[in-house]
Amino acid sequence: MPLISVIIPVYNGEATIKETIASVLNQTFKDFELIVINDGSTDSTLDVVSSILDPRLKVFSYPNGNQAVSRNRGLSRATGEYISFIDADDLWTPDKLEAQLKALQENPQAGVAYSWTDLIDEAGHFIRGGAKIYWKGESHGRMLLNDFVESGSNPLIRAQAFKEVGKFDESLPPAEDWDMWIRLAARYHYILVPSVQVLYRIRANSSSTNVLRMEQVSLRIIEDRYGEAPDSLQYLKRYSLGNRYKYLVFKALEEPPVRQRGLTAIRFLWHAVRYDPVLLRRRIIWKVLLRIAIVVLLPPKLAQVALNKVKNLADILTLVILIRTDLVSPQT
């Protein structure tokens, strides 16, 4: 049996799946199986995958479900001692599996190894670096505060852990991975490989851009996971809510500018300030308000021109940086 099972859920991924698979097959660590779950694709995804000849590659086709359903289908097929997932448009650096496996083998108390992430666009060009949070050890509170793993394409996980915490919640896309990471953090330590090894592709039509759905499932996750968390962590709940709404403001205002998303961002911002009033004293609040005004008041094409002209003044990346990741004291 292979030591690692890699699972790729894919739905209509003809444009990127070949490159994603290549980034897995080109790993320096070779003892793995690659399980592709074809989630009812209607394009040429299956033809592209079938053209790749490698004995480690296994393809299974199912009727269309969703990302969580496909991940669970992959888990049911996996035979490795360790499990990793990668979305069908993301990429790994060649040393990803080797470095994460080494980290887990050297830290038997850890159940999850994660690396750092860079963001790329649809053409594969660098957009920006990820948060690059440095953390290892007991992680329950920190994972409740924020998903520092950053994507479902990142961690390597002991297969035994899934037997204890169960499968992905199929009602929670596009945030089912954060829910899983919290459940794992409640039982296992996390270990960091301090290197960028995941390239996460941002696409305009990706599931993570559905901000209303993201809000709905995020609030449910926070309620459910704090419902099971110990009393010692309950004081963090308002910070978790504040963090999530900061992230939602950022996602709502990502380009391209759309008036309805700008209006939604106003509501998200109100909640972000409600749970973290300190935000009102930060300079970023004026950048956010400027960006909202441009997106809401101008037609999309003019809004894009205006945003390009005031790029620095309307840059709201700091909003993501202000997401709290450290455990504050209950009195703070």
- The pLDDT value recorded for residue 199 is 97
Contacts of 41 (CB under 8 A, 6+ apart): 10, 11, 12, 13, 14
- The tens-digit pLDDT sequence of the chain (332 residues) is 899 999 999 999 999 999 999 999 999 999 999 999 999 999 999 999 999 999 999 999 999 999 999 999 999 999 999 999 999 999 999 999 999 999 999 999 999 999 999 999 988 999 889 888 888 889 999 999 999 999 999 999 999 999 999 999 999 999 999 999 999 999 999 999 999 999 999 876 554 568 999 999 999 999 999 999 999 999 999 999 999 999 999 999 987 899 999 999 999 999 999 999 999 999 999 999 999 999 999 999 999 999 999 989 889 988 888 887 776 556 55
Q: Taking a C-beta distance cutoff of 8 angstroms, is the pair 86, 16 a contact?
A: no
Tokens of 141: 């509170």
* Runs of H (alpha helix) within 51-175: 67-77, 96-106, 140-145, 159-165
- The pLDDT value recorded for residue 255 is 73
Contacts of 279 (CB under 8 A, 6+ apart): 242, 246, 272, 273, 285, 322
User: What 3-state class would DSSP assign to 67?
Assistant: helix
Measure CA 80 to chain center: 23
Nearest one of 73, 86, 57, 84 to 161, comparing CA atoms:
84
- The pLDDT value recorded for residue 182 is 98
DSSP annotation of 81 reads: S
Contacts of 102 (CB under 8 A, 6+ apart): none
DSSP string, 206-266: SGGG-HHHHHHHHHHHHHHHHHHS-GGGGGGHHHHHHHHHHHHHHHHTSSSP-HHHHHHHH
Q: What radius of gyration, in Å, describes the C-alpha atoms of the chain?
A: 20
State the helix-helix crossing angle for 176-185 and 67-77, rounded to 10 degrees.
50
- The pLDDT value recorded for residue 24 is 98
